[in-house]
């Protein structure tokens, strides 16, 4: 589904990603963890070309998206993204937020888009908020709208960039629950997170990063109980 080869990203002198090579299968849920500044978010943002890789290749569904011929807009239709700070459109109601992209990008009929949007909002438990503006919502509600907005495009891959890091502790669960439900649908998910319990419970695989490199990857049980590298051991001793 997703394959990166020697993916490298530099900002000026600063190398943020160093030759990342990994594969993510269809339907797999991957949690990327690691200390801040380790390049987790940058890796995620390269996958939908919000950051342009400096070197290396990314294949998604057997298409090389790092090729200059590829249109970014086309790639992004199939990849949903959820941000740490939600980034809902503040001048649109919740419903408008969710149905905007299907109408504008996919030329979906309005009636159908409304139906899909309402269905998704019901699924994330926000049926009664469809006419509210984002600033009337709590952080957890905003993030659930953002998830619904991304899902409205019917993506095949969902990227989550620290989706619960900006939330008050009591709202984390409601967002994680929505994400858990999503894993049941067979969605391919890549989640950058600091929620170790979530990573342990939900992920099929953990990618542990430090200093722009993948230091270790493997199944959660093994990683959390018996990390192979010293770095991962140190990291886990601090966060668990």
Where do contacts with other proteins occur on this chain (CB under 8 A)? 48, 50, 72-77, 79-81, 83, 85, 87-92, 100-101, 104-105, 133, 135, 149-150, 153
**Smallest separation (angstroms) from other proteins to the CB of 236:** 31
Alpha-carbon distance of 43 to 51, in angstroms, equals 9
- Closer to other proteins by Cβ: residue 73 or 240: 73
Cβ-contact 197, 164 below 8 angstroms? no
Choose between 23 and 89: whose C-beta lies nearer to other proteins.
Answer: 89
Residue 99 Cβ, how far from other proteins at the closest point, in Å?
11
Whether residue 42 contacts residue 18, with contact meaning beta carbons closer than 8 Å, is answered with: no
The distance of closest approach from Cβ of residue 221 to other proteins in the complex, given in angstroms and rounded to an integer, is 32
Residue ranges in the chain assigned as alpha helix (H): 40-47, 72-77, 94-106, 110-123, 139-151, 169-183, 196-202, 220-225, 230-239
Residue 4 or 97 with smaller CB distance to other proteins: 97
Of 136 and 221, which has the nearer Cβ to other proteins?
Answer: 136
Q: How far is the CB of 73 from other proteins (least distance, A)?
A: 5
Closest CA to 149 of 84, 185, 85, 96: 96
- Quote the CA–CA distance of 126 and 111 in Å, as a whole number: 19
**Tally of CA atoms within 13 A in the half-sphere of 9 that contains its CB:** 25
Comparing CB distances to other proteins, the nearer of 87 and 221 is 87
Smallest distance from other proteins to CB 238, Å: 29
């Amino acid at each position: 589904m997703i394959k990166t080869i020697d993916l490298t990203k530099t900002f000026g002198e600063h190398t943020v990603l160093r030759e990342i090579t990994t594969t993510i299968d269809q339907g797999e849920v991957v949690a990327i963890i690691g200390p801040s500044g380790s390049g987790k978010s940058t890796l995620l943002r390269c996958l939908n070309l919000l950051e342009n890789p400096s070197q290396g290749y990314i294949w998604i569904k057997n298409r090389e998206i790092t090729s200059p011929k590829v249109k970014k807009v086309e790639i992004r239709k199939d990849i949903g993204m959820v941000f740490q700070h939600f980034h809902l459109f503040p001048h649109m109601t919740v419903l408008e937020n969710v149905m905007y992209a299907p109408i504008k990008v996919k030329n979906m009929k309005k009636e159908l888009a409304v139906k899909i949007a309402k269905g998704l909002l019901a699924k994330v438990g926000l049926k009664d908020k469809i006419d509210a503006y984002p600033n009337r919502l709590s952080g957890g509600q905003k993030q659930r709208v953002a998830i619904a907005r991304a899902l409205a495009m019917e993506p095949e891959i969902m990227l989550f960039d620290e989706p619960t890091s900006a939330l008050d502790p009591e709202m984390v669960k409601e967002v994680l629950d929505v994400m858990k439900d999503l894993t049941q649908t067979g969605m391919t998910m890549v989640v950058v997170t600091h929620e170790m319990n979530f990573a342990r419970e939900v992920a099929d695989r953990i990618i542990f990063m430090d200093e722009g490199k993948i230091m270790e990857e493997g199944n959660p049980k093994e990683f959390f109980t018996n990390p192979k590298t010293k770095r991962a051991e140190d990291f886990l001793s601090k966060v668990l």
